[in-house]
Amino acid sequence: MLAPLIVQELFRIIRRMTETGDLAVILVEQHAHQILPLTDRALVLERGRAVYSGDSRTLIDDPQRLDGWLGATGGGPRGGTTAALVARGEA
């Protein structure tokens, strides 16, 4: 696990990269609740199968749904669940 200051710096860099041009950034992150606000689209995979593909805002606005997949408000992700998140730009 990265130190909180390093995580904050990474988020700042990612935000700057995606806001300054037509650059798409694809992130794979188990702790999606931290990165979703920086992204436009989300793909949630559970054991290699897509269980959600769509707007990131939809997941932000439905924490129960997100928590069911990733444990975003609880004790971490369920085994085998990962979110691939696209931050700004076209992918």
The domain ranges of the chain are: 4-87
Q: Check residue 74 and give its pLDDT.
A: 47
Residue 44 in contact with residue 81, Cβ under 8 Å? Answer: yes
**Confidence (pTM):** 0.65
Nearest Cα to 18, choosing from 90, 91, 87?
Answer: 87
Q: Check residue 19 and give its pLDDT.
A: 77
- Residue numbers in the chain where pLDDT is lower than 50: 74-77, 89-91
Q: Check residue 61 and give its pLDDT.
A: 92
Q: Check residue 80 and give its pLDDT.
A: 53
Structure tokens at 51: 């269980």
